Amino acid sequence: MSQPTSLLADIPFSLLELAPMRQGSTVGETLNNSLRYAKEADRLGFNRFWFAEHHNMPGIASAATSVLIGYIAGNTQRIRVGAGGIMLPNHAPLVVAEQFGTLESLYPGRIDLGLGRAPGSDQVTSRALNRDTSRDEQFPEEVSELQTLLGPYNGRHAVRAIPGEGTNVPIWLLGSSLFSAQLAAQRGLPYVFAGHFAPRFLYDAIEIYRRDFKPSQVLDKPYVMLGLPLVAADTDEEAQFLGTTSKQRVLALIRGHELWLKPPVETMDGLWSAQEETYVDNFLGLSVIGGPATIKHRLEMIVKELGVNEFIFTNDLYDLDKRKKALQILMEIKQ
């Protein structure tokens, strides 16, 4: 008798990259490691490799998102490369259209543009980016502007994105609350929920998106991608050990410390207070941690419960070889 097909067989797996830095390493070394990681993902058949925009965060080297997309796309063969996401209030829509229109022209059919409305930084850094906080409220209009700039020229608008016009770079809306879910539904756009750091509104956001979805020229039915923190290893015990790197990083985040990747530790006891432990556990509440059987079971349960169309994983392990090993495990459990 043939083996039953895994629920995961037809679910695309993708990766979200923050270009995590170890203390003492250079940006060049970090970005070279990101490329080696992306090449392994490309070889194994992952669907997308997206960079997240963050600023003024020692330990995260993905600030110049569009530059890194070009770097990865130019050195891989098949995998789609994109932004998860561009924080639109930090940028003029015309500039974003020109950058991603250029990328799409260089690497046709391989570029994605995920959009968020958070700052990706603190208030002081936002001011340094010349960010007008009132633009948060203009996000829906600026998404429309980007769609127009990347679409075919209609003969009317005075400002045109050259390159960009007519490239129709796929636009995704990213969110950790209900706002982007509602907007994605209204516009008929694909939606990504940021479960890798904000699991609180997961069920409500997906329900609203599916309930209110209106078909568009882009999509005829809802498409949900779910971000999840991943720690995959040969055994559950090893995965729990490797996962302490992410826990230390979130702990540093809530303390306002620098976000360097730290080596895993045997125990977190003594490193955090009970209150901090609760916060970190909530932050990483959707983590998928374990050996192959555990990872497979957890992901299949999520597919059954939420019916997600695609997963996008953060995989912030300390050791590059362990990061690449996690990718192999993920692809093996799809069988």
- Residue 181: strand, helix, or coil: helix
The amino acid occupying position 48 is R
pLDDT (0 to 100) of residue 206: 95
- Residue 70: strand, helix, or coil: helix
Reported residue count of the chain is 335
Q: Determine contact, residues 206/173, Cβ cutoff 8 Å.
A: no
The amino acid occupying position 58 is P
Among residues 65, 167, 72, the alpha carbon closest in space to that of 116 is found at 65
Q: Please state the separation of Cα 14 from the chain's center in Å.
A: 9
Where do runs of H (alpha helix) occur along 45-92?
65-73
Among residues 25, 24, 49, the alpha carbon closest in space to that of 38 is found at 49
Q: Determine contact, residues 60/257, Cβ cutoff 8 Å.
A: no
pLDDT (0 to 100) of residue 1: 45
Among residues 144, 145, 143, 121, the alpha carbon closest in space to that of 133 is found at 121
With a CB cutoff of 8 Å and minimum separation 6, the contacts of 297 are: none
| Torsion from C-alpha of 139, 140, 144, 145, nearest 10 degrees | -30
- Residue 156: strand, helix, or coil: coil
In SS3 terms, 218-267 reads as CCCCCCEEEEEEEEECCCHHHHHHHCHHHHHHHHHHHCCCCCCECCCCCC
Q: Determine contact, residues 287/243, Cβ cutoff 8 Å.
A: yes
Mean pLDDT in runs of 10 for the chain (335 residues)? 74 97 95 98 98 93 96 98 93 96 98 86 69 76 96 89 96 93 97 86 95 96 97 98 97 95 96 96 94 97 96 96 98 92
pLDDT (0 to 100) of residue 6: 83
Task: State how far the alpha carbon of 229 is from the alpha carbons of 32, 52, 239, 247, in Å.
Answer: 22, 14, 12, 11
